[in-house]
Copies of this chain bind each other. A is one copy, B any other.
């Protein structure tokens, strides 16, 4: 792999459609999975109100989020390129809902029918702390400015 770390992040974000959430449960942190899309540099999550992670987020907006190259794509799991993000997840406000929904469905078209259910809700996750692992021994902090440069680029 000789691409820049910026290019590595772009490849990961194109390649992967799922994220792993760390949310605050009653007895400790809980790990769960949710598909994601990027919109205006933020991460969109479409979550069922019936799911534990959604109730956890409504109680405590501070969450962790990991996006990881599928393990079938590498020989050694430790070398899997991945992003570890921390920040707050909040419901998408009414005025941004149509644009966010369009962006989400453009990334995850099969979710169309879920928008018909009353129990799903769009959340926006704003990364505040960003850590990139590009492979074994290749890790770095990414600033918010660098993140938006990468994710807002055409």
Contacts and interface: CB of A to CB of B under 8 A. Distances in A.
Given A31-B65, A33-B80, A64-B30, A23 B22 contact: yes
Contacts of A68: 18, 20, 33
Interface stretch (A6-14, A70-78, A144-152): A70-78
A16 B111 CA distance: 25
A86 B22 contact: no
Interface in A8-49: 16-18, 20-25, 27-33, 35
Contacts of A75: 110
- Secondary structure at the A interface, as helix, strand, loop or mixed, is strand
Per assembly, the copies of the chain total: 2
Interface residues of A, number: 41
Contacts of A30: 22, 29, 64, 84, 86
A64 B17 contact: no
B66 A28 contact: no
A100 interface: no
B71 A17 contact: yes
